[in-house]
Amino acid sequence: MPDTLTKLAELFNRFPGIGPRQARRFVYFLLAAPRSFREELARGILELSKIIHTCTECQRFFSPARGATLCPLCADPTRDRSTLMVVEKDVDLENVEKSRGFTGTYFILGGTVPILEKNPEERIHLKKLEGLIAHRAKEGLTEVVLALSLTTEGESTEEFLKEHLTPLAEKYGFKISTLGRGLSTGLELEYSDPETIKNALKNRQ
């Protein structure tokens, strides 16, 4: 593989889930693709810098209309601003929206806090979250939902957030809640772990 191609393959190799072999396939795919496809792709990548901003409230990526600083969701007057859901990343927000089960607003943490992390504040937007909460508190915030994944990292992030947000919750008088645990779609009782069964029993209705 010529040097130019190797270099490009190395860039693709850093993409999530892409190993060296598939990275090289990408390069050969691009070589064989029409020039117009390569140009459209390169333009799309470069435009990200120009077009995409982060919403000043929820921190998610969006493509603003001229001068807008809020994403369509944060700018939507019909969303319930008394409830704030904290999620790890943009796709989590999109997935919750798909469920049509939530009418409040969101905050994107931008990452998780692994156990024993020395500089947790560099990994997530904690200061911005605290700022948003202080601001919303004046507008009648009643609940912050911590919607993290049920993985080890998700749970340690939840712990970290609870610690830091509890003083605010007491000061401003809102509730901190977490997503309900139980059986999820497709799960068989035979293969469920004890923790899930215990929660499914506790939350039975």
Ranges within 169-198 binding a copy of itself (CB under 8 A): 177-198
Q: Is 61 in the site for a copy of itself (CB under 8 A)?
A: yes
For 197, half-sphere exposure in the C-beta direction (CA atoms, 13 angstrom radius) is 7
Quick one: which segment of 28-36, 119-127, 132-140, 160-168 binds a copy of itself (CB under 8 A)?
A: 28-36
Q: Is 66 in the site for a copy of itself (CB under 8 A)?
A: no
Out of 95, 115, 121, 131, point to the residue binding a copy of itself (CB under 8 A): 95
Q: Is 38 in the site for a copy of itself (CB under 8 A)?
A: yes
Residue type, 125: H
Query: Which is closer to a copy of itself, CB of 22 or CB of 137?
Result: 22
Out of 102, 117, 137, 172, point to the residue binding a copy of itself (CB under 8 A): 102
109 to 138: interface string for a copy of itself, x by CB under 8 A: ------------------------------
Give the three-state DSSP class for 60. Answer: coil
Distance from C-alpha of 68 to C-alpha of 75, rounded to nearest angstrom: 9
Distance from C-alpha of 97 to C-alpha of 90, rounded to nearest angstrom: 11
Quick one: which segment of 94-102, 121-129, 131-139, 164-172 binds a copy of itself (CB under 8 A)?
A: 94-102
The residues facing 178 across adjacent strands are 146
Residue 154 near residue 148, CB atoms below 8 Å = yes
How big is the site for a copy of itself, counted in residues (CB under 8 A)?
90
Quick one: which segment of 32-40, 114-122, 123-131, 164-172 binds a copy of itself (CB under 8 A)?
A: 32-40
Out of 77, 116, 119, 201, point to the residue binding a copy of itself (CB under 8 A): 201
Distance from C-alpha of 103 to C-alpha of 79, rounded to nearest angstrom: 6
Distance from C-alpha of 36 to C-alpha of 156, rounded to nearest angstrom: 46
The residues facing 175 across adjacent strands are 143
Distance from C-alpha of 115 to C-alpha of 160, rounded to nearest angstrom: 9
Least Å distance, CB 86 to a copy of itself, is 11
Q: Is 204 in the site for a copy of itself (CB under 8 A)?
A: yes
CB atoms within 10 A of CB 142: 16
Q: Is 69 in the site for a copy of itself (CB under 8 A)?
A: no
- Name the token pair of 115: 């156990």
